[in-house]
Amino acid sequence: MAIDPRKIREYRQRMNDRILAEEDLTIKRFFSLDNQTYREGTLDAKTKELMGLAVSAALRCNDCIFYHLDRAIGLG
C-alpha cells in the first residue's frame, strides 16, 4: 500500500491544531520544548532529525519514522 505523504502531513497538522486548541498549558509547553529542541545549536537541525529518525527506527514507531524522515528530507 502506497503512503501519501500529503495526507499524513495534513492529518498531523489537523491533530496538532486540535490538540493545541484545548488550551492545555502542559501540552503547549511540550510543543514548545519540541520546537526548541530542533532549533539550530551545537548540532544542526538536520543532524537532530536524523538522530530522531534513528531512535524512531529503534522504537519501531512508524509515525515517528515518517515524521523525522520527512523533516530530514525537507532540511536537505
SS3 31: helix
Position 8 scores a pLDDT of: 87
Position 53 scores a pLDDT of: 95
Total Cβ atoms within 10 A of residue 49: 21
What grid cell was written down for 1? 500500500
Blockwise average pLDDT, block size 10, the chain, 76 residues: 82 91 90 87 92 96 90 90
Position 23 scores a pLDDT of: 85
